[in-house]
Amino acid sequence: MFSRRLWSTFATVLTSCTVLLPVASPAYACTSAIPADQLVSPGRLALSTNPTLPPLQYVDGDGQLKGMNIELGHELAKRLCVEVDFMRMDFPAMIPALKAGRFDGIDTGMFWTEERSRMMYTVPYAVSTIDVVVSPDSKLQLADVRALRAHSIGVEADSYQERWLRERAKESASEGGKPIEIHAFTTASDVMAALRAGQLELAALPSYAAAAIIKRNQARMALAGQGNTQTTLAFRQRAVAEAVARALDGMRADGSYAKLLDGYGMTKLPDGHISVRGTGPV
């Protein structure tokens, strides 16, 4: 029989051991909502992002990926019971790389279009527009879209903004108007660098990016709220897209969707189920 002193010592050791033992969740506590064979790497959701569009995605002073879309990717992965890997890439290369199977999805604030919805499985998650900005000291004023004619404007290559601008340029040409001088750059950062250097008169940006740049006094609004459309995630496999849509629905139901988008000044989708939009690859 233990003495009182010996029993006290044993209890102390037992308590210490209990504290030091890691508390592990059982393997069955979280089961992935995505079949392993639907991912490039089983158990891991690989997403591409172009971290040049704060506040949606950017690299901080420590070289870490930050922003709303990065937070969204981590939250979706947690709800889907997978790990998330981000691949940094310029936007023009993303869709070909996705189709080639280099990663599972695109998480970079891409605008939804009918054409893209036939190339990939798209899951819209926000609403956005195009803003046209000028340098802070510019005297240029734009009354409407027609005022873009005869001016030079920069835009990210292969983006919804570029497509929208080229449609406006065609309209001008068909009406016998002056041309819009469009300059396409690899990244939005390159667009802004050219604007600051005086190589452009205007820059066309997603509204969320324009708002952040204007807030830092790096540009001034010239024409707001053009080309209203949805911002979308995109995936190479329907099963992945459908699982993500269900996870987003769960975020909407528990309030975390609204909290995330409101925190970054993004416009939420109208009420209703979040779902895959479009046919996807045929």
Q: For 276, which DSSP code?
A: -
Distance, CA of 69 to CA of 88 (rounded, Å): 13
> Residues 52-87: pLDDT tens digits?
988 999 999 999 999 999 999 999 999 999 999 999
Judge if 97 and 234 occupy the same domain.
yes
Q: Which two tokens stand for residue 275?
A: 């779902």
Residue at 15 is within a domain: no
Q: Read off the pLDDT band of 29 (50, 70, 90).
A: low
Q: Which of 44, 114, 99, 72 is nearest to 237 (CA)?
A: 99
Judge if 90 and 139 occupy the same domain.
no
Judge if 238 and 117 occupy the same domain.
yes
Q: Which two tokens stand for residue 231?
A: 């911002």
**What phi, psi does 116 have (nearest 5°)?**
-65, -35
Which position has the token pair 């005086």? 198
Residue at 26 is within a domain: no
> Residues 37-51: pLDDT tens digits?
999 999 999 999 999
Contact 172, 149 (CB under 8 A): yes
Please state whether the predicted TM-score (pTM) of the whole model is above 0.85: no
What is the reported pLDDT for 5? 45
Q: Which domain holds residue 182?
A: 130-228
Indicate the number of domains in the chain: 2
Q: Taking each helix axis as running N to C, give the angle between helix 256-263 and helix 68-80, from 0 to 180 degrees, rounded to the nearest 10.
A: 160
Judge if 142 and 109 occupy the same domain.
no
> Residues 95-147: pLDDT tens digits?
999 999 999 999 999 999 999 999 999 999 999 999 999 999 999 999 999 99
**What phi, psi does 57 have (nearest 5°)?**
-155, 135
